[in-house]
Each structure stands twice: as C-alpha cells, then as structure tokens.
Amino acid sequence: MGDSLLADPLLWLIGASEIGFWVFLAAGLAARYLLRRARLGAALLLGVPLMDVVLIVASTADLAAGGEPSRVHGLAAVYLGLTIAFGHSMVRWADARFAHRFAGGPRPVKPPRGGPARTRYEWREFGKVAVAWGIAAAVLALLTVVGGRSFPALAQWPADPMWSWLVTLSVVAGIWFAVGPLWATVFPGSDERSVRSEQRC
C-alpha cells in the first residue's frame, strides 16, 4: 500500500507544490532585495499562488477522468486550505526578514508575549486555521461532486479516504484553539516588553 501511495502522481505534485512555494518565494525576494529588480520579484512571487491553482486543477481533473478518490486527494484539499490560509502571512514573514537583512528595513516585529495584544494575536492566528478548515471542506466537496460520489455522513468521515483528512484537521484545530486563543483568553498574562517600557517612563 505504501509503494502504491508513493507511486501516485498527485502525491508527487503536492511535494512539488511545496517545493515550488519556497523556490518562488526565495527567488522573488532575492530578485527584489538582492538584484534590486522589483518587477521581476513581483512576477516570481505570483508563482506562489500559481502552485495552488495547478494542484486543484490536477486534483479535479484526476477525479473527472475517473480516478478513484483516495487519501491523496484529501491531502491535496487540506494542503490547499493551509497554503491559502497561511500563505500570505508566510510571504509577509519572509519579506520582512529579507527587507531587514538586505535592504535596511526595520527589525521584524515579534509576536506579543502576553496581555490583550497576545490574545488578539492568538485569535487572529486561529482565524487562519478556521479559514483553512473551510477551504479544505469546500475543496473536498468539489472533489466529491466531480468524482460523482454522494456526500458521506458525518459518522462516516473517519473511514472515508478523502473526508478523513477533515477529521484530522478538526483535531488539529481543536488543539490549536485550546493552547492558543482559549489559553491566552483565560490566562492573558502581561507583555513584559510593555511593562518594562512603562517602568522606564
């Protein structure tokens, strides 16, 4: 089963999409800050979301051509959800560090350690998880329709080759919620940097 899974072209495409994400990101930022070619950098960065388009087209085309729904299709849906939800913030994160290192930009701002700012930050990050879940569910629904299948009942999700991934993502989202926004809301603490700043004043 493991060998047949590794032989799935869609699985290799997911890996290629992940590699392509970082290649386009690194090339775009290098062109912008090292070569001082802003337009070239912007063009290369357009390749980052392009990888997602290629993956969703390949997934739907495979099922439309009669492919058997599998865990790889479910993984593609989850991967798309995560990259779309977190992709923009990852690009911003990398851009800020490239700008600081190679273009004299300001030092990247670290996440707040406590207080209301930390709570807002955790809820914002969890919002991305919720968006990822929603996108993954929408893609799974699309793949189900394209594959000519009926939607599985909620109780059948764990055993379904595609929808079982949404169960996994739900567990991850639940853990993230508990250790992230819920913890920060119940135990907000205080931002040590803000406290030191107030003491200096």
Reported as half-sphere exposure (CB side, CA atoms, 13 A), residue 72 has a value of 22
Please report, to the nearest 10 degrees, the dihedral formed by the alpha carbons of residues 173, 179, 180, 186 taken in order.
130
**Regarding predicted confidence, which is higher, 163 or 198?**
163
Angle at alpha carbon of residue 100, lines to 95 and 106, rounded to 5°: 105
Question: pLDDT digit string (tens) for 26-82?
Answer: 999 999 999 999 999 999 998 888 888 888 899 999 898 888 888 999 999 999 999
Least confident of 107-116, 136-145, 183-192: 183-192
pLDDT for the residue numbered 140: 96
Domain boundaries, the chain: 2-200
pLDDT for the residue numbered 197: 39
Instruction: With a cut of 50, say whether residue 196 has pLDDT above it.
Output: no
Instruction: With a cut of 70, say whether residue 7 has pLDDT above it.
Output: no
pLDDT for the residue numbered 198: 36
Share of the chain above pLDDT 90, in %: 66
pLDDT for the residue numbered 199: 38
